[in-house]
Amino acid sequence: MTATPSPAYKDPALPVERRVEDLLARMTLEEKAGQLFHAMLMMNADGTPVTETDGSMLPFTTPELIEGRLLSHFNLLGTYGAREMAQWQNAVQEMAAATRLGIPVTLSTDPRHAFTDNVGASFNAGAFSAWPEALGLAAIGDPELVHRFADTVRREYLAVGFRVALHPQIDLASEPRWARQTGTFGSDARLTSELVGAYVRGLQGDRLGAGSVSAMVKHFPGGGPQKDGEDPHFAHGKEQVYPGGMREHHLEPFRAAVAAGCAQMMPYYGQPIGTDWEEVGFGFNEGVVTGLLREELGFEGIVCTDWGLLNDASIFGEVHPARAWGVEHLTVAERAARALEAGCDQFGGEQCPEVVVELVRSGRIPESRIDASVRRLLREKFTLGLFENPYVDPDAAARTVGRADFTALGAAAQRRSLTVLTNPGGFLPLADGPGPRPRLYVENVDAAVAAEYGEVAPDPAGADLAVLRLRTPYEPRENVFESFFHSGSLAFPEPELAKILALLDAVPTLVCINLERAAVIPEIAERAAALIADYGASDAALLDVAFGRAVPEGRLPFELPRSMAAVAVSRPDVPNDTENPVFTFGHGLNL
């Protein structure tokens, strides 16, 4: 009996384009529609796929999505061990291999290499090497380091099976209150443009291939100018405004990303107000996605919407409306049609392929339009080598993720990123040699770590000096999901400020403030014995710098305003626009 020849799409010797066309011709409309959705998955801690769900976070189980809805693009939520992630990845790929066409899964992730933990934006490093946030990389300002960082991310991601990075985030931090600044390279378009090129090349290499992680750059065309600094994950933050006329300025980093060859692009949620763009969210905005991104900038890669544009969703048991800003009145199907007509290829965080099927069958959207997006999505799977090598080695993953040299690189970057803001009288570096060890009073610092540098005092009265770690202030929000997005005032409220200043008056105090946004701290800056900014750094990193064991190189990636009144009257699209800031962009002292 003559053996049935293997389909052309399974032949790695054939050109990618031929394999794409062969596979596309074999696909049903339902299989095509499934490719247009980039949904979320979670995993069990033991490395097995989730086969039961209560619907509070994810509406469908993994088998329902892969076998029932024919999806093959997913981002993983949560933090897990490296070996377990690799085992889970393999189990998911086995599930996909058993489908009719055996299309492998493409797995993606939000950032996983720093200290922020926000289920809507990023995860703490966990098993991965720990680096400063993107703001910290910007504070160092070294493209070579950013390339090394992205290459490390690439290696650790490949080990567990992630093939798409839902980053870098290259919005400009032009509105001091905006919650998403920690993931950016700060307020400077020139620096951001320089660093994004290094970042994309570190993830993808000189060209996308089997050893690459695809970079999904976000949030086009620049998500920084949010009215009142509110975030457009939420309806009260949907408006994006340009009172300073600097719309083109926010585009500069995206031009650099396209020039660097980024494979994917994510439009933001924001609804532009008062421009010549249509006042609908960018994922629905044909003038922005097709006119600007595709035609003017020449981007030929995948455009994936930000998460949750079509359907209302339950998050932590609370219902959140679809982020369909400007098209809230449309049905789910009408919203999907608008996004496809705008030029988007894929719907982030959604899993409703039946909507696309009905759009085609009703004649609302031609199947040729679906084919155009499916071609892009399949082409990337073939280019990444997923059809040949969908599986990873759990033993190798356990050896690679968090490897000693990767961890050392991240630890060194943490130290370099620290930014000395004040050091009156040469308070730093502290004495670190023979002789009596200083008595240290610490707050928000691990006492066991502090004990490596001095004798830990139980209260300020018995201390020679204090070390106080703070975080940028914010206004708590009642909604559970929104509580992860630190928004509102940047100033410490009373009586918290009074308590901080009392400590600073009682004992010479080194203050280190974590800048996830531009804190308003004039009183603290005036009264601290020394003031350092961090963007994700361990206690050991801070104390190494304080005691002269490491050299800080950081420079502020945005200005620090003098008052909330100055913030309120600044223009959201104009970087570093507050009057008489306490510290200007680029400030930083040498020790």
**Can you list the pairs that 378-381 forms with residues at least 24 positions away whose Cβ atoms lie under 8 Å?**
378/20, 378/23, 378/24, 378/35, 378/103, 379/16, 379/17, 379/20, 380/106, 380/208, 380/214, 380/263, 380/264, 380/302, 381/72, 381/103, 381/104, 381/106
Respond yes or no: is residue 306 known to be catalytic. yes
Which of the following is catalytic: 142, 306, 539, 544?
306
Whole-number Å distance between alpha carbons of 359 and 369: 11
Q: In what order do the strands lie in the sheet with 419-422?
A: 419-422, 530-534, 509-514, 465-471, 439-443, 455-456
* The two three-digit tokens of residue 533, written as one number: 């900014």
One-letter amino acid for residue 365 of the chain: I
The Cβ of residue 15 has, within 10 Å, a number of other Cβ atoms equal to: 10
Three-class SS of residue 87? helix
Strands 313-315 and 302-303: unpaired
* Total H helices, total E strands in the chain: 19, 18
Measured CA to CA, the distance from residue 430 to residue 230 in angstroms comes to: 40
291 dihedral zone (left: phi>0; alpha: psi -120 to 50; beta): alpha
DSSP label of 438: P
Reply yes or no: is the peptide bond before residue 493 cis, omega within 30 of 0: no
Instruction: Respond yes or no on whether the N-terminal peptide bond of residue 219 is cis (omega within 30° of 0).
Output: yes
Q: How far apart are CA 565 and CA 320, in angstroms?
A: 31
| Token output for 361 | 């069958």
**Rg value, the chain, Cα:** 25
Q: Strand order of the sheet with strand 347-348?
A: 302-303, 264-267, 214-220, 162-165, 106-109, 73-76, 37-41, 347-348
Q: Is the dihedral of CA 221, 222, 225, 231 positive or negative?
A: positive
Which tokens sit at 586?
């680029």
Q: Is the dihedral of CA 268, 273, 275, 280 positive or negative?
A: positive
Catalytic residue ranges? 306
